[in-house]
Amino acid sequence: MSGATLRELEADVEDRAAEHAVPCPACGGERFDILLSPEEVRAEQEWLDAFHAARIERPAGDDEGAKDRASFTQSDATNVVACRACGTVLRDPQPTCRALALTYALDHYGEDALARLAANQEQFFRAKLTQLAEHAIGCALPGDGARVLEVGSFVGGFLVAARERGWRALGVDVGVETVEFMRRKGLDVVRGDVLDADFSTAAFEAVFVWNTFDQLCNPADVLARIAELVGPGGLLVVRVPNGRFEAACVALRRSAVRERRRERILRAQAYNNFLTFPYLTGYTPESLGALLARHGFRVGRVYGDTILSLAGPDTKPFAVHEEERTKRAVLRLCERIRCSGGAVVHPWIDVVGRRVDSPAA
């Protein structure tokens, strides 16, 4: 990115404060129940700051150490609401599309934080692709040499894992700092929006959207573009925070009689990056599946998961073990619910779909 363009973005940074009310991005519904008020979001942020301050060894004033653990891009105290029609959870109001583009283009991490996040994500995506390859049903992964696209590549963890599988992987991301970081690692990345990128129709065998779809202001437009890029038969994998997990945790905390139970729920949320709900949207498996179907994708499988490990070199040993125990407990509970015929309530969901000839009516 040229210096002149970056200065233009910096001059327009005040646009990031612009906000507006939005309908449900999954179903278009306009009636919502409030899960959290702005005051409750601020209270969660205070709890989260204290939680990680006791678990991370870092110098005073080092905000980079808390990045993506207690400090998030979506950090404003807004309402967190649930759509009455489909259960999708979202922040309300939300930034405009231009405001979001500016925010993510200028998001700052620092070299140490980027390196920590990249190493963590590379390990996570190696395991994730192995899981998908071993358990995919009706939506097998592409073979060696396949051309694949990742929308929202962040620090390049998936691109590294994809390259190791023999894929020709291309990333697209709006971040100035993150794209420069990935290019220094020799990864193939386009800086910009997938809607504006000059890609040919049916240019890719698969498109992956990890931890990015929930931050889009225009998910329907992006899905329409992805449908063009993969063409009939193409694979799409989308990973999002599960709105049903957020709604369940808020309800359980409010009904908890004992403080110890409330603390356990807060800890489960903290270790899955759900406190303050730092996402624009938390789809449910059903609401995301319906949205994909409207754009020509048939869902083949939904995987329930937790977020990748938050622990790093600066994490205190007790917190490393605490996070592992907490996530194992969350997965056991969620799997019991699912196996008993209940809903998918895992904190994170990977939805795998295949492009069909025509969208659902």
The encoded tokens of residue 154 equal 């962040």
pLDDT at residue 176, rounded to an integer: 96
Q: Note whether 134 and 323 are within 8 A (CB).
A: no
Task: Residue 155: name the closest of 236, 210, 93 by CA.
Answer: 210
- Pick the closest to residue 226 from 57, 352, 355, 109 (CA basis): 355
Length of the chain: 361
What's at 176, amino acid-wise?
V
Q: Map 208-230 to HEC letters.
A: EEECCHHHCCCHHHHHHHHHHHH
pLDDT of residue 360: 57
Is this structure's pTM higher than 0.85?
A: yes
360, part of any domain: no
> Is 30 contained in some domain?
yes
Domain containing 296: what range?
A: 3-355
- Both tokens of 91, joined, read 């922040």
Burial class of residue 190 in the structure, from the number of CB atoms within 10 Å of its CB (0-12 exposed, 13-18 middle, 19+ buried): middle
Structure tokens at 301: 């499988």
Residue 352 in contact with residue 233, Cβ under 8 Å? no
So what's the pLDDT on residue 134? 81
Residue 133: inside a domain, yes or no? yes
Task: Map residue 256 onto helix, strand or coil.
Answer: coil
| Residue 168 backbone zone (phi > 0: left; psi -120 to 50: alpha; other: beta) | beta
Neighbours of 84 (CB within 10 A): 13
List, for the chain, all residue ranges whose pLDDT scores fall below the cut of 70: 1-20, 59-68, 136-139, 358-361
- The CATH number linked to 159 is 3.40.50.150
C-alpha to C-alpha distance for 299 and 356, rounded to whole angstroms: 10
Q: What is the distance between the alpha carbons of residues 163 and 145, in angstroms, rounded to a whole number?
A: 9
**What 3 state SS string does 151-163 have?**
ECCCCCHHHHHHH
pLDDT score recorded for residue 1? 43
Is residue 102 a part of any domain in this protein?
yes
Asked if residue 162 belongs to a domain, the reply is yes
| 43 in a structural domain | yes
- Tell me whether residue 361 is in a domain: no
The pLDDT value recorded for residue 62 is 53
The H or E element that residue 124 is part of is helix 111-135
Token pair, residue 32, equals: 């919502």
The two tokens of residue 69 are 């653990």
- pLDDT of res. 105: 92
> CB of 227 within 8 A of CB of 199?
no
Q: How far apart are CA 133 and CA 142, in angstroms?
A: 9
DSSP character for 307? P
DSSP letter at 67? B
H-assigned helices in 165-201? 176-184
pLDDT value of residue 139? 62
pLDDT at 76: 87
Alpha-carbon distance 308 to 52, whole Å?
16
Q: Is 59 exposed, middle or buried (0-12, 13-18, 19+ CB in 10 A)?
A: exposed
Residue 148 forms part of a structural domain? yes
Q: Residue 83: exposed, middle, or buried by beta-carbon count in 10 A (0-12, 13-18, 19+)?
A: buried
- How many domains is the chain partitioned into structurally? 1
Q: What is the chain's Cα-based Rg?
A: 20
